[in-house]
Amino acid sequence: MSIRHSLLALLSEGPKYGFQLRQEFETSTGEVWPLNVGQVYTTLQRLERDGLAQSDDVEEDERQKNYRITPEGGEELSQWLRTPPDLSEPPRDELVIKVLVASRLPDVDVYDVIQVHRRYIVQLMQQWTRMKEDESHFDLAFALAVDAELYRLDSVIRWLDSADGRLRRAATEPAPEIESHVALPSIRRRNGAHR
Amino acid sequence: MSMLELRHVSKSYGEGANEVDAISDIDLSVERGSLVAIMGPSGSGKSTLLTIAGSLEEPTTGEVSIDGVRLSGMSRNDKARLRRRSVGYVFQDFNLLAGLTAVENVSLPLELDGTSMKKARTKGLAALEGLGLGDRAENYPDQLSGGERQRVAIARAVVGDRSLLLADEPSGALDSVNGEAVMRMILAACHGGVAAVVVTHDAKLASWADRVVFLRDGRAVDETLPPPTPEELLNPNTANPA
Amino acid sequence: MMDDFRVASGRRPSDGGLPARRAVTRWAWRLFRREWRQQFLILALITVAVAATILGSSVAVNDPPPKDAGFGTAPYSSSFTSDNTKAQTFIAKVQQLGTAQVIENQTFSIPGSINTYQLRSQPAPGPFGGPMLTLVSGHYPSGANQVAVTSGVESAFHLSLGKSWQVGGVTREVVGIVQNPQSLLDAFALVVAGQVTNPSQVTVLFNVPAGDIRSLSKGASIITPASVAASNPLNPETISLVALVLGMLLIALVSIGGFTVLAQRRMRSIGMLESIGATDRHVRLVVSANGTVVGIAGAILGLIVGLAGWLAYRPSFEQSAHHLIGIFALPWLVVILAMVLAVLAAYFASSRPARAITKVPIVHALSGRPAPPRQIHRSMVPGIVFLVAAFLLLGYAGGTGGGDGNGGAPELLLGLLLLMPGLILLAPFFLSLTGRVARRAPIAARLALRDLARYRARSGSALSAISIGVLIAVIVILASASRFSNVLDYAGPNLASNQLALHTGFPPQGGVVVHRNGKGQLVPVSHPKTETASSAQLAVGAAQIAKGLDAQLIALESPNANLSGRQGGRSWSGQIYVATPRLLRAFGISASEIDPKADVLTSRPGLSGVSGLNMDFSSAKQGPGQNSPGGGIRNPLIQEISALPSGTSAPNTVITEYAMKKFHISEDTTD
């Protein structure tokens, strides 16, 4: 997960110290994703090595170093903002595999498996929603981040519902002829897509 | 004592060979101040459950009690009185009467119950203002946006210190921002002591509830567990396995 | 909350009382205001019905002459036509007991016309005669040599203000134009008292204490406005009210369907209302309040339209009714009743759908889907039984009607009465037939017919209303046909446009018969008052008129005979004449067409089949001028000849010369 672009974004506001950058990163993402200290400084060094950021070499201590963005860094940042990530290859989803497996095993109730996961996800969503609405935690960045998570979980629920329906319909219809397995058609990767 | 109690409630339509079970053997208990969401695919009986809980329909078997009073012994007029005083209903759309202004819509249950027009209007205005619609009180429903109409509907459902709120897909016709606003208001009413039951198919909205009941084919098949209390969090042994 | 619920139910009225009703009515009023277009049809129907009733009853009530016509403001009136001395004694008696106003009339005929005018002496205006006499222009006559005339007399004699005019041998100056507001056709010349020397009628309007009436009535017949009105049983107000009730019944029936549709359209809102706790009574109130509002609006609109129509029509109506009518002379009782009935009709029409809607389960109403039509399976048998019985009775009634005409009436009535339940019971099957017929219809008609057949709740009432309306029309047609097809009490057409009937019976006293002299001028044949023209002179006069018109003259001779008999409750009417060869030739009837044994020839269709007619006559055996009882025959042989004219005043029935000779019937020479 690229935190380098987030750091570049923070730098584009103005020159900052190392420890500043670490603090601000956490606050700006609503403290949803706490960071390893070392990770920040390693990334900063890499940015410098790639010519996207610049520091005055006065200090040895990373925390005290003053960093600033370069023009190349600014271009890299705007390029990153506008380019959608490569989502063409679906990630390996453990839940999908579970459901597929459960539907094949004869002594396993796949609907039960689905309902267990559904309940768990809804419980999670209940907690996230409660947190989001709890006033002391309210800030815009936090809300956006939690919304993202809620939508993600919601999409899983929707898929579970859809799978539920498909499996039930298939159970009542006669089984079609099983052809040899055809590989999932792949979507052509876009050029210049970022990982 | 719970505000709403359903015991072994079943409802079937049709006769003989054409008999269809809408809901079977449902138990449900809703306390004051708690928000319960009912989730399930279409045809699972969620709406039927709500209409039976709201006295709009009678169960084939089983017992419904609102605030300790059993509905089975009630006459039509008694049930109507119950709907005027204790139960508030919110539908997915088309909640308001077209010929009346927002405040007239909200005060209508009070007026039907015998409250004078002036007093009812005061209460209605207060309810609307509590939901941020004080300046739209004299508008007709066709002059209000969808979100505003639902808010007026909620105001009508809680006006007069009613204690049970039943909502059937209240955010169904709204966008996500307005939908959230509606759930926020229902939750606020619960904090004020109202017991609320919301039927929805949207997990994001159901996640506002304290408890989610899952319905399938007319039966309650599952229920979310209550969130861990701080004590349970501190003691990992008693925490719920995820 | 729980305690609130239990305790509060004792404090507040169980169904919300007045505020609830007010809230519900408020919504009904808003519904009416917003959706008045949907109710436009019902509104229009009620408006038209109320307006038509107001206008129609005003016309019907004001058409006959005013009740006090001829009485002025006097409570009593008495007329004397022959004995002037009797009149004078009566007047003297009355003047001893109370007030009297004397009106003397002498009849004159207008030359060249069958109309007459009166020479009238009447105090202007007098103690009672105010309503009967008004001045149009000029002034009332104040001296013996002055006269005021009506506009009819003015134009008949080509008079004008200031001209001199001779009547009854006296020359007077025309000083004014007058009229009788209660009878605009009244043609008279007004003179001062004492100028009418030979009155043909003396009328006394008077007022005396009630106790003295009996002593006065010994020598004269006294009438009052009430006695005149009583002789006329057909009260126009009663007729208007009957028509109003019938009209409102029909409108209520049609409106039921309209209100049903309206209620069904509001189904979702009503379900909503019930879900927030409205009781059945509240829901019924919504629908019936809506209905009442429509009724009130229709009544008010109808009043406005009716009044406007009356104000517009009244001036021309005065001319056709021949008397002046006040602007506000409306039958206000009928008007108010019409409005009240309109509201009641709308209320009752909407209360049926109101009750039906409360029976729909709340959940169903909320979904807004129209309820599937309930299929009612009834047998056709009861309806057919009624229909067959009705037809049998009607057939029997028609068959026995031949005899004396009184038979068959109860069967007829019963038959008609049985028709109605028969139709009502069979109506659903006719409705479902329309659904089947619709298969071949174009799409728009198909939709309408299928809807009609499926949703009988909406269409049933309208169908019955239309059926009853048609039934009424048919009954009216039947009644008038049976009346006018009666050959005895004959109502035929008028004379043809190329025919003119000239009656030269002796002229009224003081009349004039004219003929053209050698110089081509019209001169009187006889002097008025002293001579009556002889029949030979009259024939000459007639011949000259015919010549002047370049017309063929057919002299009609009346025999000393007439027909009599009854059929269908009516008796013979009409004049019969002799079938002279000239008459037969004039109508193109050749001798070969006539049955030599026929006693009577007629153009009245169906007369030959009527049994039980008598022909009564006087024989000439005893010599001319003496009429003996003669005799009569039953069932004279009647032949129908269509060439004879069919007009009521024309010689549609003639007695043959064969019959005249056979029974020695003489001619009527008194004419």
Confidence of residue A158 (pLDDT cuts 50, 70, 90): very high
Taking any CB pair shorter than 8 Å as contact, residues of chain A touching chain B are 115, 118-123, 125-130, 133, 150-151, 153-154, 157-158, 161, 164-165
Buried b (16+ CB within 10 A) or exposed e, B114-152: bbebeebbebbbebbebbebeebbebbbeebeebbbbbb
Q: Indicate yes or no: CB of C276 within 8 angstroms of CB of B111.
A: no
What are residue C625's phi and psi, to 5 degrees? 85, -15
Task: Give B196 or C437, the one with higher predicted confidence.
Answer: B196
The pLDDT of C241-270, averaged and rounded, is 80
Share of chain B above pLDDT 70, in %: 93
Whole-number pLDDT of residue C514: 55
**Residue C590 three-state SS:** coil
Task: Give A32 or B213, the one with higher predicted confidence.
Answer: B213
CA atoms of C342 and C296, how far apart (whole Å) = 7
Alpha carbon of B232: minimum distance to chain C alpha carbons (Å):
34
Residue-averaged pLDDT of chain A: 79
Q: Indicate yes or no: CB of A125 within 8 angstroms of CB of B202.
A: no
What are residue C209's phi and psi, to 5 degrees? -55, 145
Q: Indicate yes or no: CB of C277 within 8 angstroms of CB of B89.
A: no
> At B164, which helix (H) or strand (E)?
strand B164-168
Residue C530 confidence (pLDDT) above 60: no
The pLDDT of C442-456, averaged and rounded, is 83
Residue-averaged pLDDT of chain C: 79
Confidence of residue B194 (pLDDT cuts 50, 70, 90): very high
Q: Indicate yes or no: CB of A126 within 8 angstroms of CB of B242.
A: no
Which of B183, B205, B224 to probe by mutation at the A interface, max A CB count within 10 Å? B224
Confidence of residue B239 (pLDDT cuts 50, 70, 90): very low
Alpha carbon of A129: minimum distance to chain B alpha carbons (Å):
6
CA atoms of C626 and C619, how far apart (whole Å) = 9
Chains in contact with B via at least 3 Cβ–Cβ pairs below 8 Å: A, C
C386-438: per-residue pLDDT in tens?
Answer: 989 988 888 877 665 544 444 456 677 777 778 777 777 777 777 778 778 88
Alpha carbon of C327: minimum distance to chain B alpha carbons (Å):
42
Q: Indicate yes or no: CB of C5 within 8 angstroms of CB of B99.
A: no
Put simply, the chain B residues between 150 and 169 with a CB less than 8 A from any chain C CB are 156, 161, 163
Nearest to B203 among A125, A127, A130 (CB): A125
Residue C470 confidence (pLDDT) above 50: yes
Whole-number pLDDT of residue C405: 45
Confidence of residue B65 (pLDDT cuts 50, 70, 90): very high
Whether B19 has its CB under 8 Å from any CB of chain A: the answer is no
Whether B91 has its CB under 8 Å from any CB of chain C: the answer is yes
For every residue of C433-474, DSSP letters joined together read HHHHHGGGS-HHHHHHHHHHHH-HHHHHHHHHHHHHHHHHHH
pTM across the whole model? 0.66
Confidence of residue B162 (pLDDT cuts 50, 70, 90): confident
CA atoms of B107 and B128, how far apart (whole Å) = 10
C1: Cβ contacts below 8 Å, ≥ 6 apart = B67, B86, B161, B163
C308: Cβ contacts below 8 Å, ≥ 6 apart = none
Provide the token pair at C619: 């024989």
Residue-averaged pLDDT of chain B: 87
Residue B64 confidence (pLDDT) above 90: yes
Whole-number pLDDT of residue C234: 66
CA atoms of B81 and B109, how far apart (whole Å) = 10
Highest CATH level, class, for B1-86+163-169+188-242: alpha beta
Structure ipTM: 0.87
CA-CA distances (angstroms) from residue A170 to A89, A117, A165, A173, C37? 27, 21, 9, 5, 53
What are residue C504's phi and psi, to 5 degrees? -110, 40
Whole-number pLDDT of residue C349: 87
Q: Indicate yes or no: CB of C20 within 8 angstroms of CB of B98.
A: no
Find out if CATH 3.40.50.10860 is the number for domain A4-82: no
CB of C201 within 8 A of CB of C80?
A: yes
Alpha carbon of A27: minimum distance to chain B alpha carbons (Å):
25
Closest to C290 in 3D by CA, of C269, C321, C320, C312: C269
CB of B197 within 8 A of CB of B4?
A: yes
Nearest to A129 among B39, B207, B221 (CB): B207
The domain spans of chain A are 4-82, 94-172
Residue C510 confidence (pLDDT) above 50: no
**Which residue(s) pair with C148 in the sheet?**
C176, C190
CB of C313 within 8 A of CB of C59?
A: yes
With contacts defined as CB-CB under 8 Å, which chain C residues touch B154? none
Nearest to B222 among A115, A130, A158 (CB): A115
CB of C326 within 8 A of CB of C315?
A: no
CA atoms of C639 and C652, how far apart (whole Å) = 12
Whether C275 has its CB under 8 Å from any CB of chain B: the answer is yes
Whole-number pLDDT of residue C5: 43
Alpha carbon of B110: minimum distance to chain C alpha carbons (Å):
8
Confidence of residue C527 (pLDDT cuts 50, 70, 90): very low
With contacts defined as CB-CB under 8 Å, which chain B residues touch C14? 77, 81
CB of C43 within 8 A of CB of C294?
A: yes
CA-CA distances (angstroms) from residue C45 to C249, C251, C299, C310, C448? 12, 7, 10, 19, 21
Task: Give B198 or C79, the one with higher predicted confidence.
Answer: B198
Whole-number pLDDT of residue B211: 93
With contacts defined as CB-CB under 8 Å, which chain C residues touch B116? 19
Whether C22 has its CB under 8 Å from any CB of chain B: the answer is yes
Nearest CA in chain A to B241: A120
CA atoms of C189 and C204, how far apart (whole Å) = 18
Residue in the block written with tokens 């070392």: A38
The pLDDT of C147-160, averaged and rounded, is 88
Nearest CA in chain B to A114: B222
CA atoms of C557 and B38, how far apart (whole Å) = 108
CB of C240 within 8 A of CB of C60?
A: yes
Whole-number pLDDT of residue C1: 43
C472-484: per-residue pLDDT in tens?
Answer: 788 778 777 777 7
The pLDDT of B107-114, averaged and rounded, is 91
Q: How far is C-alpha B223 from the geometric centre of its chain's CA atoms? A: 18
Closest to C488 in 3D by CA, of C605, C405, C571: C571
C80-132: per-residue pLDDT in tens?
Answer: 887 677 788 888 888 888 888 888 888 888 877 778 888 888 887 778 878 88
Q: Count of CB atoms within 10 A of residue B27's CB?
A: 12
Question: How far is it between the farthest Cα atoms of chain A?
Answer: 75
Which of C3, C4, C5, C283 to probe by mutation at the B interface, max B CB count within 10 Å? C5
Q: Are strands C76-80 and C570-571 parallel, antiparallel or unpaired?
A: unpaired
Provide the token pair at B24: 């079977």
Which of B204, B205, B210, B233 to probe by mutation at the A interface, max A CB count within 10 Å? B204
For every residue of C385-442, DSSP letters joined together read HHHHHHHHHHHHHHHGGGSSS-TTHHHHHHHHHHHHHHHHHHHHHHHHHHHHHGGGS-
Residue C560 confidence (pLDDT) above 80: no
Nearest CA in chain B to A132: B208
Q: Are strands C522-524 and C514-516 parallel, antiparallel or unpaired?
A: antiparallel
Nearest to B94 among C2, C9, C268 (CB): C268
Whole-number pLDDT of residue C32: 85
Eight-state DSSP code of residue C64:
S
> At C478, which helix (H) or strand (E)?
helix C456-484
Whole-number pLDDT of residue C640: 87
Whole-number pLDDT of residue A16: 86
With contacts defined as CB-CB under 8 Å, which chain B residues touch A123? 224-225, 227
The pLDDT of C537-565, averaged and rounded, is 77
The domain spans of chain B are 1-86+163-169+188-242, 94-162
The pLDDT of A65-87, averaged and rounded, is 84
Whether B140 has its CB under 8 Å from any CB of chain A: the answer is no
Whole-number pLDDT of residue C647: 81
Alpha carbon of B231: minimum distance to chain C alpha carbons (Å):
33
The region of weakest confidence among C230-244, C354-368, C393-407 is C393-407
Alpha carbon of B97: minimum distance to chain A alpha carbons (Å):
33
Whole-number pLDDT of residue B210: 92
